[in-house]
Amino acid sequence: MSDDTRPWPQAGRERMILPSPIGRIGTGAHDPEAELVASMDDQHVFMMGDNPALPRMPEKPTLLDFYRYRFGAITVRHLLGAAKRALDDGRSDHVVMACLLHDISNGCLLRPDHGYWGAQLVAPYVDPEVAWAIKYHQALRYVPDAAVGYRYPESYHRFFGPDYQVPAYLQRDAEYARNHPWYMTARLVTLYDIYFFDDTAQEVNPDFFEALVARNFRQPAEGLGHDDSPSSHMWRTMIWPNNFL
Ligand SMILES: [Fe+2]
Ligand SMILES: [Fe+2]
């Protein structure tokens, strides 16, 4: 990236960032919108485009560039670890891909309903079975399946408390998934979806999955976010997460 000579946008002015409300409301964090709007002048504008505080994305970003330059370290380690476990067990490309992608929404976009958001992100680019498995892994994580040795995750007791009640929509969607022909694809994602609080055991580089991604992800020639698929705007939001609009 060091040979990147593209100029930074809005040069010479302070670029103010107004955090997206979805990550702020309810947290007690101050809403700075009023004072930031009041401080606009010819030296202060709202940020639009590349933020120098973030690694700069290539002009034509690939899927794995988001692992390299945008997703948080915990998410990257978790996704690469899940995919590696599936691969080591000899699972199909669809299962390994679904493992590699299952939590990408957590990486840089949205945590709530991450399975649903993640499925929409990748749906234009992957086999429908892969997107389906990503969508339904979220609900199936709460549902044991003794036949394949899947139990309610110990980590969820710690995340949510032992008395957490699974909401009705997740129970409904898990029941739907259980009776679907692709059930086992999503179920296998939950089997390899092991969250270690101190998971440093398996260091995997995103490059390791280049060939798998080349076979199973229809990378747009313009770059993710710069094509015109139904989810391009979601990838752009991760490229420019601090845009005012
Ligand atoms: Fe997940
Ligand atoms: Fe996960």
Ligand 1 centre from 172 Cα, in Å?
17
List strand residue ranges (DSSP E) for 110-241, in order.
none
Instruction: Please report, as a single letter, which amino acid is at residue 55.
Output: P
Return the SS3 of 238: helix
Q: How far is CA 190 from the centre of its chain?
A: 16
Q: What is the pTM of this model?
A: 0.95
Ligand 2 centre from 134 Cα, in Å?
10
Ligand 1 centre from 180 Cα, in Å?
19
Ligand 2 centre from 115 Cα, in Å?
9
Q: What is the pLDDT of residues 66-106, one digit of tens each?
A: 999 999 999 999 999 999 999 999 999 999 999 999 999 99
What are the two backbone dihedrals, phi and then psi, of residue 198, each rounded to the nearest 5 degrees?
-125, 45
Nearest to 122 by CA among 212, 51, 220: 220
What is the C-alpha to C-alpha distance for residues 81 and 122, in angstroms, rounded to an integer?
19
Ligand nearest to the CA of 114: 1
Q: What is the pLDDT of residues 7-17, one digit of tens each?
A: 999 999 999 99
What is the C-alpha to C-alpha distance for residues 173 and 125, in angstroms, rounded to an integer?
23
Q: What is the pLDDT of residues 204-224, one digit of tens each?
A: 899 999 999 999 999 999 999
Ligand nearest to the CA of 137: 1
Ligand nearest to the CA of 118: 1
What are the two backbone dihedrals, phi and then psi, of residue 201, each rounded to the nearest 5 degrees?
-65, -40
The two counts, helices (H) then strands (E), for the chain are 12, 2
Ligand 2 centre from 44 Cα, in Å?
40
Domains of the chain from N-terminus onward: 1-48 (no CATH), 63-237 (1.10.3210)
